[in-house]
């Protein structure tokens, strides 16, 4: 039987700051938005009691929580902790899929002979994250990936929810339909127009059930390449200069590229996400002639998308990059492309090896500001 553990870190950036400085525990910790500038990227649950949440403007957070402890966004440090979390997950399964810097899914199918029942393994993983890293995580365990995600969200903060086979529909039915991953405001509005308010309402529609949930899919079906890998960040201060945006994009691309290479995957599609100061969000994608997992190639696409879609003079609050249509093999390429790929592969294997051994800061690649010809 298939088993999937969805791990979702609790207030991740704030939790990392608390792990590094235990005196912050139990206090309203707010990452980002310092001095009333920029936006909040994370808030501890103590800060959330005041109404503070991520993506909130800093000045508003300060009004709601004047006693809040505002800290700068230290993305590199959070990435290092993320790597440590995923290192624990990877000790229990070769199939670990990173959804974001603080969220992932572990395929525990077939691990019973090594570690015992999946529910025991899931609890052990969450306990190790807390004991070894000092971080709080929530988890959901189910025979369905989507249900595991919903369960983890329902268990937050610092909880675990196990759904035995056959209990999925009873758990899902009373939940609002926008609890399903991927059901955003526009889709939610359309579903409400159709009279679908709860997941129970959606379950009665076979076509929609198949589209949004994976309850009826064969256990052996492989979804590995249906997923995407992405990374985004809400900026402490809105950026206007494109060069500064490119520096942020490069850091995001480095993480996505690293995840792709760890999984032996290449992306056929690259997507850029931009959110302006007026909170208008746009996403733009490009399909590649040849799939890639190399930072420089992903960055070149992201930079071109940024150049074409950046509104002149409009401050940017959020940038994100994602790679999708993931492949491990099966595409055609010329001899020249093969040689180029092997050359890049050798270079990045060395970079990744050094970073795994000595840490993220061991080697830094300069942002490619000049176009390659």
Q: According to the model, what pLDDT value does residue 363 have?
A: 53
β-pairing verdict for 137-142 and 4-9: antiparallel
pLDDT > 70 in the chain, percent: 84
**In what side-by-side order are the strands of the sheet with 160-162?**
96-100, 103-107, 4-9, 137-142, 160-162
Catalytic residue among 18, 103, 297, 360: 103
- Specify whether the CB–CB gap between 288 and 270 falls below 8 A: yes
Q: Kindly report which listed range (8-12, 94-98, 136-140, 352-356) carries the lowest average pLDDT score.
A: 352-356
Q: According to the model, what pLDDT value does residue 41 have?
A: 84
Q: According to the model, what pLDDT value does residue 198 have?
A: 95
Q: Kindly report which listed range (33-42, 125-134, 331-340) carries the lowest average pLDDT score.
A: 331-340
- By the 10 Å C-beta count (0-12 exposed, 13-18 middle, 19+ buried), 324 is classed as middle
CA 295 vs CA 32, 99, 254, 263, 338: distances in Å: 27, 18, 6, 15, 17
Residue 372's pLDDT band (boundaries 50, 70, 90)?
A: very low
What tokens does 122 get? 């899931």
Is the Cα torsion angle 218, 222, 224, 228 positive or negative in sign? negative
pLDDT > 90 in the chain, percent: 43
Query: How far apart, in whole angstroms, are the C-alpha atoms of residue 160 and residue 168?
Result: 15
Q: According to the model, what pLDDT value does residue 226 have?
A: 43
Mean pLDDT across the stretch 183-191? Answer: 82
Mean pLDDT across the stretch 135-156? Answer: 94
Mean pLDDT across the stretch 130-138? Answer: 96
Q: According to the model, what pLDDT value does residue 97 have?
A: 80
Residue 330's pLDDT band (boundaries 50, 70, 90)?
A: low
Residue 329 phi/psi, 5-degree rounding, is -170, 175
- By the 10 Å C-beta count (0-12 exposed, 13-18 middle, 19+ buried), 347 is classed as middle
Question: Scanning the structure block, which residue is given the tokens 């649950």?
Answer: 45
CA angle 351–357–362, rounded 5-degree value: 55
> In the 8-state DSSP scheme, what is residue 57?
B
Q: According to the model, what pLDDT value does residue 225 have?
A: 41
Q: According to the model, what pLDDT value does residue 371 have?
A: 42
Other CB atoms within a 10 A radius of the CB of residue 266 amount to 24
Q: Is the pLDDT of residue 337 over 70?
A: no
Q: Can the peptide bond before residue 157 be classed as cis, meaning omega within 30 degrees of 0? A: yes
What tokens does 160 get? 């675990």
Would residue 333 show up in a list of annotated catalytic residues for this protein? no
Q: Is the pLDDT of residue 15 over 60?
A: yes
Other CB atoms within a 10 A radius of the CB of residue 345 amount to 13
What tokens does 253 get? 């691309």
Q: According to the model, what pLDDT value does residue 220 have?
A: 39
Query: How far apart, in whole angstroms, are the C-alpha atoms of residue 32 and residue 55?
Result: 9
Residue 66's pLDDT band (boundaries 50, 70, 90)?
A: very high
Is the Cα torsion angle 74, 76, 81, 82 positive or negative in sign? positive
Q: Is the pLDDT of residue 370 over 80?
A: no
Q: According to the model, what pLDDT value does residue 328 have?
A: 72
Residue 335's pLDDT band (boundaries 50, 70, 90)?
A: low
Q: According to the model, what pLDDT value does residue 218 have?
A: 45
- Mean pLDDT highest for which of 39-48, 124-133, 254-263? 124-133
CA 11 vs CA 184, 203, 213, 364: distances in Å: 21, 31, 26, 28
Concatenated DSSP letters of 195-234: T--BHHHHHT-HHHHHHH--TTS-TT---GGG--EEEEEE
Q: Is the pLDDT of residue 163 over 90?
A: yes
Is the Cα torsion angle 190, 192, 197, 203 positive or negative in sign? negative
Q: According to the model, what pLDDT value does residue 196 have?
A: 93
Q: Kindly report which listed range (290-299, 309-318, 364-373) carries the lowest average pLDDT score.
A: 364-373
Query: How far apart, in whole angstroms, are the C-alpha atoms of residue 217 and residue 220?
Result: 9
Please give the model's pTM, rounded to 2 decimal places: 0.66
Residue 260's pLDDT band (boundaries 50, 70, 90)?
A: confident
């Amino acid at each position: 039987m298939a088993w999937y553990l969805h791990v979702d870190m609790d207030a991740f950036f704030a939790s990392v700051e608390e792990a590094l400085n235990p005196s912050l525990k139990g206090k309203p910790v707010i990452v980002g938005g310092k001095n009333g500038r920029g936006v909040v990227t994370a808030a501890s649950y103590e800060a959330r009691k005041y109404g503070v949440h991520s993506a909130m403007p800093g000045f508003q957070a300060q009004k709601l929580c004047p006693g809040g402890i505002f800290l700068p966004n230290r993305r590199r440090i959070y990435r290092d902790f993320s790597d440590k979390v995923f290192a624990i997950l990877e000790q229990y399964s070769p199939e670990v899929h990173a959804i974001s810097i603080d969220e992932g899914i572990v395929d525990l199918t077939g691990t019973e002979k090594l570690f015992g029942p999946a529910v025991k393994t899931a609890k052990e993983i969450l306990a190790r994250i807390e004991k070894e890293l000092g971080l709080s995580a929530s988890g959901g365990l189910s025979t369905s990936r989507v249900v595991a995600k919903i369960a983890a969200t329902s268990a937050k903060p610092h909880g675990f929810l196990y759904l035995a086979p056959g209990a999925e529909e009873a758990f899902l039915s009373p939940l609002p339909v926008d609890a399903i991953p991927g059901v955003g405001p526009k889709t939610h509005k359309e579903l409400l127009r159709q009279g679908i308010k709860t997941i129970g309402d959606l379950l009665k529609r076979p076509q929609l059930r198949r589209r949004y949930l994976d309850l009826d899919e064969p256990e052996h079906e492989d979804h590995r390449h249906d997923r995407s890998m992405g990374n985004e960040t809400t900026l402490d201060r809105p950026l206007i200069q494109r060069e500064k945006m490119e520096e942020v994009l490069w850091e995001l691309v480095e993480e996505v590229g690293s995840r792709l290479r760890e999984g032996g995957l290449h992306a056929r599609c690259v997507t850029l996400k931009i959110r302006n100061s007026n909170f208008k969000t746009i996403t733009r994608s490009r399909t590649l002639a040849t799939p890639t997992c190399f930072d420089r190639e992903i960055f070149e696409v992201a930079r071109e998308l940024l150049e074409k879609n950046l509104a002149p003079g409009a401050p940017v609050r959020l940038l994100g990059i994602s790679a999708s249509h993931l492949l491990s093999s099966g595409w055609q390429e010329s001899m020249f492309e093969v040689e180029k790929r092997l050359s890049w592969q050798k270079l990045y294997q060395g970079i990744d090896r050094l970073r795994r051994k000595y840490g993220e800061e061991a080697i830094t690649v300069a942002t490619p500001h000049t176009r390659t010809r």
